[in-house]
Every structure is written in structure tokens, then in C-alpha cells.
Structure 1
Amino acid sequence: MKKMLRLLALYAATALTAPAHAQSVAFTFDDGPRLEETPLLSPQQRNQSLLDALAAHKVSAALFVTCGFGADKPAGYALAQAWGRAGHAIGNHTMTHLDLNSTDVTLAQYQQEITDCDRITSTLPGYQKWFRFTFLREGKTPEKLQGMRTFLQQTGYRNGYVSLDTSDWRLDEKLNEVLRANPKADLTPIRQAYLSHLRQRADAYRAMSRQLVGRDIPQVLLLHHNLINALWLKDAIQQFKDMGWTIITPAEAFADPIYQQPPEQQRGGQSLLWSIARSKNQRKFPGWERLVDDGDFEIDALKAQGL
């Protein structure tokens, strides 16, 4: 725990600062809509809670649909439809969330998953020709990497890059675990960990963008269609506003030049900024340990509190 606190203090001491109004962020969500059951909220309630939070803050977001998680069924299709009708963009995130980096997954198989999902997403309001790689992994071999770039170009798909990566999914797993063990558990520590995690990642990736490209880029935030965001997305958006960040649409963010040219070297499973850093042979930044720990810092802190 002391080591984590020292790392946090080191990051806070080295993070850069700039006029608050310079930074913008777009909200995007992966893996929805899910029809699986969770504590507290039904699939319909989770979906509506996310939409209500976005509406309350007048945020136009994007949902990258993993069609096999629910949109291929009438009940899930209706949930995805609600996003488009509310003015949010709809993107493609494959049928079953395969990992392209796996040796068991072929390039043809992965491309077929995109095509099959497109048959569903293309019928939804808000449909965009945007594709986001599952696990943010674009293939470990030159064949897969170049094969996918060619495929996306030929099919007219934009790569739905992420610059502000988070491990909200890890905290969501902890949230569900705690609630299943005790439906009346005090969730305040998890909420605080979630908001703190988002702020730390936002500050760190902002500092990274300045070091790499010399400016504040419009950040594309990755969150997930899950319970933790259904409960506290409204608070998360307010936190970004309180930090002085401007909320923009995903389309506005993707229009920035940084999202137009694929980096020479890909770092699978991480922010686009990490891939740019790899291409420039810059591998470590202040606080970099916290960006690649998949939420270990927050999980360990919650365990220390008995959760």
C-alpha cells in the first residue's frame, strides 16, 4: 500500500498543468447492450440509467455494440435502438468479442464477426461506420495487422481509437462481487475508487499527450456498458466538468489529426497514445505504472478496506 501511495505522490508531483478550458473529452462505451443479470438493476434499468445520465448532462456519446451480448435478440436490440434514438452514435465491436491476438482466432474469422455484427448495427438509428478492436488489440502478426487495416479501408470503417483508456471493467467486477456477497454492502468506497481512477487516468493521459504531441488532444474515453457506470456515470461526467474539461461528441474527437493516421507500431490492449509512444521509442512516462496495472491500485486499496 505504501508503495502505491509513493507512486501516486510521484505522479502528482510530475503531472503537467495547463488552462482547464484547453482539454476536451468524448464519451464512448463498449460491450453493450448486455442482457446478463447483475445485482441491483435489470438489463433494461442499467441501459436506461446510462442514457439518463448522458441526457442529464446533454452528452452525445457512442456505443460500440458487441452484438452477441444482446443486440442479436429482440430485447437487446431494443436497448441498442434506444441509444440511437437518443442521438448517440452506434459502432461495431464484433459479434462475440474474440481476441484477434489469439493464435486460435484467424483473420478471416475476426473479419466475419465484424460483417455479421454490421448486419445488425447497420439497421439501428445512429449507425456509424466505426469499428473498435476488442481488447484494443489489432493483431500480433504483420498479416493480421495489415490485413485488418486493409479490411477496414475497403469496407469504409473508421478505427474507433481510444486515447483515454480505463479499467472501469475491473472495478465493475469488484462491485458485482461485493454485491453478490452482501446486497446491502456500503458501496461508497467503490464509488470513490471509480471516480478517483477516472481522474488519475484522465490526468495521466493528458500529460502523455502533451509530452508526445505537444498539445492537449481531444481525448476519446473508453468506458463499458456495465453496472458501475449505470450507477455513477452521472457523477463521472460531473467530475470531468468540475475538472474544467469540455465534453464533445465522438465525431468531433475523431476529426482530430491524431486519429487519422495509424501509428507505425501497435501496442495491443492500450491507449492509442501508447502506440504513438512506441513508434517514437518513448516507453515510460511519469505515472506510467498506473496506466498499465488494470486497476490493481484501486483493487488493492479496496481489499485493504475489507472489500
Structure 2
Amino acid sequence: MLPAAARAWFAALCLGVMGQAQSVAFTFDDGPRLAATPRLSPQERNAAILAALKKHQVSSALFVTLGNGADRPEGLALARAWGDAGHALGNHTVTHLDLNAKGTTLQQYQEEILTCDRVIRALPGYRPWFRFTFLREGNTPEKRDGMKAFLKAKGLRNAQVTLDTSDWRLNEALVAVLTQHPGADVAPIRGAYLAHLRQRAEAYRDLSRQLFGRDIPQVLLLHHNLLNALFLEDAIRLFKDLGWTLIRPDAAFQDAVYTLDPQRPSPGQSLLISAARSLGLQPKGWERLLDDGDEEIRLLKQQGVLPASFE
């Protein structure tokens, strides 16, 4: 049984906007990337993602990992293109270090946030938003409490994610296949990606209903990578076909759900998973939400698309 105060807090969140249509905000981490990939150059990848967003009139957010490219003029130009196109730009550190790692100090992590912020705040579309790398908010009370105080002092929002995906792992599969066979048919990977997105979307929608008795505006986590350069338009169509409304991240963050501050001692969690754990709940079937696309990778191996040795 939850304490009375917790029950009252939880009931207030359940009120929300009852009957509101399901909506989703697209956000991308780790960009802009200047690393080489098969088929598309960094400039082509960036342009392809922005073109898909423009075609479908999607306003999104890019969370910049400075060391991936924006610390160089050619990469900074790619980040600027997002702001010029009307998208938001947020902070995702310099080197994507892991706050939960024993060797990562609180001071080091905070210095990377400040370094990234000094660069991106001059770009159009800048928002005072920070997203934790790996969605890990610290493995000790000192780190977790230190980061909460730091973000508050700097006026930075914790840009939470509710609809977490493992698109990064399917991107690794795509790059591995094309590196070995540049002309390979990538349709099976496209299919696996869309199936993964659908499974996650439906599962997190169901989880929000279990927790709050309503649909919430979901914040979707994707990555600035080759997979989305090739298949983002298909992903957008998937959500439209599901009947979901595509909204701005700013609008999603206005929901009361994003004021939640659950205890998050476990690594890499959707806000909804964290909320469920804080309440002592174990939603049915949530194991699929905690893997890294394992089922999709298994099926790709079974189809012979990926070698058995692929990790």
C-alpha cells in the first residue's frame, strides 16, 4: 500500500486530460555525427533526417553530443541546420560519458554539460534542456542529488524520455551489414526497425494507461544515425498509421507527467519504467521494454541477415 501522500500525488497525475488522443514528440540524441558510414556522408545523413521531418511537418529536438561533430565547423553547421529548420537543440554532454561509471565524477560530468552549453546556446533553436546520457542519472545518492541541484541552479530542464527505443542497436546491425556487403538488401532491417518501434509504442502506451489511466504525450527517443537517415519517413508514417498525433517536444513537456521525479537507481530507464518501479509495480510484459532490441536481432539472425556472432 502506498503512503497517503504518494497516493494523492499519483491520483493528481491521473487526472490529466482524460480522453486526449495519443500523441508523440520525436527527439534525437547524439548528433550531429561526422563519423563515416556506408551509403551516405555525414551531410547527406543530416539532410535526409531533416528532409523527412520537413516533409511530414514534424517539429523535433536534437540533443547535441558535442564531441560527435559540433565541436568542428563542419559539424556545427549540421547542428545549426536543425535550428534553422525550426527544431529545438538541447544538451547531451561532450563525450557521452556514463554518469553511473565509477570513474566518472560529478564535477567531470557537469563540466561537460557546461562546455556543450557554451557552444549550442549560440545556435538558433537552443533550449535550456539537458538529457542524461544512457538515461542514467547517477548510481549514488551524491551523484543523483548533485545533478538535481546542478540542473536547478543552471536553469536546465531534465528532458525526460517516456518512449525509449533501441534504434541504436538496429543501426549497428545496418552498418555492419552494409560495411560487409555495400549492395545488401536492407529491407529486412527496415522491417525489424518498424516492428520494434510499433512494439515499443504500443507497450509504453499501455504502461501509461496502467499508471495514469490515460494516454500521455509520449517523448520518443531516437538517434542521429544512418538507420534514421534511411528509414525515418517510414517511422513517421508508422505513428501516423497508428493514429498518433505528432507534436512538438515543448508541448509534450507541458504534461504533468514530466514533473515526476522518481528514484532511478537502475540504469537506462524510460520515465514510465522509473515511475512504475518507484511505486513498487511490475507491469505485465515490461521485460521487452528493458532489452536492447534482442527479439529483433534474434529474428534477423534467424533470417540470415546477421551472422550468429553479431552482438
Q: TM-score, normalised by structure 2?
A: 0.91
Q: Is the 8 A contact 1:64 1:132 kept in 2?
A: yes
Aligned to 1:79: 78
Query: How far did 1:292 drift?
Result: 1.0
CA distance in 1, matches of 2:204, 2:266: 15
Aligned to 1:89: 88
Query: Secondary structure of 2:59's partner?
Result: coil
Query: Secondary structure of 1:220's partner?
Result: strand
CA distance in 1, matches of 2:50, 2:274: 32
Could you say if the C-alpha distance between residues 151 and 21 of structure 1 is closer, same or farther in structure 2, counting changes exceeding 3 Å? Answer: closer
Aligned to 1:9: none
Aligned to 1:229: 228
Matched, 1:298 2:296: yes
Aligned to 2:192: 193
Query: How far did 1:114 drift?
Result: 0.1
Matched, 1:254 2:258: no
Deviation string, structure 1 residues 28-60 (Cα, Å, up to 9, x no partner): 000000000000000000000000000000000
Query: Secondary structure of 1:72's partner?
Result: coil
Query: How far did 1:291 drift?
Result: 0.8
Matched to 1:233, the amino acid is L
Range with greater deviation from structure 2 (186-195 or 260-269): 260-269
Q: Is the 8 A contact 1:267 1:274 kept in 2?
A: no
Query: Secondary structure of 1:97's partner?
Result: coil
Aligned to 2:9: none
Aligned to 1:184: 183
CA distance in 2, matches of 1:81, 1:42: 17
CA distance in 2, matches of 1:86, 1:73: 20
CA distance in 1, matches of 2:297, 2:215: 29
Query: How far did 1:288 drift?
Result: 1.2
Query: How far did 1:265 drift?
Result: 4.1
Matched to 2:297, the amino acid is I
Matches within 5 A, 1:198-217: 198-217=197-216
Aligned to 2:47: 48
Matches within 5 A, 1:72-221: 72-221=71-220
CA distance in 1, matches of 2:198, 2:266: 23
Structure 2: which 5+ residue stretches go unaligned? 1-17, 306-311
Matched to 1:193, the amino acid is A
Could you say if the C-alpha distance between residues 213 and 266 of structure 1 is closer, same or farther in structure 2, counting changes exceeding 3 Å? Answer: farther
Aligned to 1:281: 280
Output the aligned Cα RMSD: 1.2
Query: Secondary structure of 1:30's partner?
Result: strand
Query: How far did 1:22 drift?
Result: 1.6
Aligned to 2:270: 271
Q: Is the 8 A contact 2:135 2:267 kept in 1?
A: yes
Matched to 2:296, the amino acid is E
Q: Is the 8 A contact 2:61 2:89 kept in 1?
A: yes
Deviation string, structure 1 residues 192-246 (Cα, Å, up to 9, x no partner): 0000100000000000001011111100000000000000001100110010000
Matched to 2:146, the amino acid is G
Query: How far did 1:268 drift?
Result: 2.3
CA distance in 1, matches of 2:49, 2:236: 11
Aligned to 1:58: 57
CA distance in 1, matches of 2:241, 2:260: 32
Q: Is the 8 A contact 2:64 2:89 kept in 1?
A: yes
Identity %: 65
CA distance in 2, matches of 1:159, 1:131: 5
Query: Secondary structure of 1:165's partner?
Result: coil
Matched to 2:289, the amino acid is L
Aligned to 2:28: 29
CA distance in 2, matches of 1:255, 1:262: 15
CA distance in 2, matches of 1:105, 1:224: 23
Range with greater deviation from structure 2 (19-28 or 132-141): 19-28
Matched to 2:255, the amino acid is D
Matched to 1:306, the amino acid is G
CA distance in 2, matches of 1:81, 1:280: 41
Number of aligned positions between the proteins: 288
**Aligned structure 1 segments of 4 or more residues deviating by more than 4 angstroms:** none
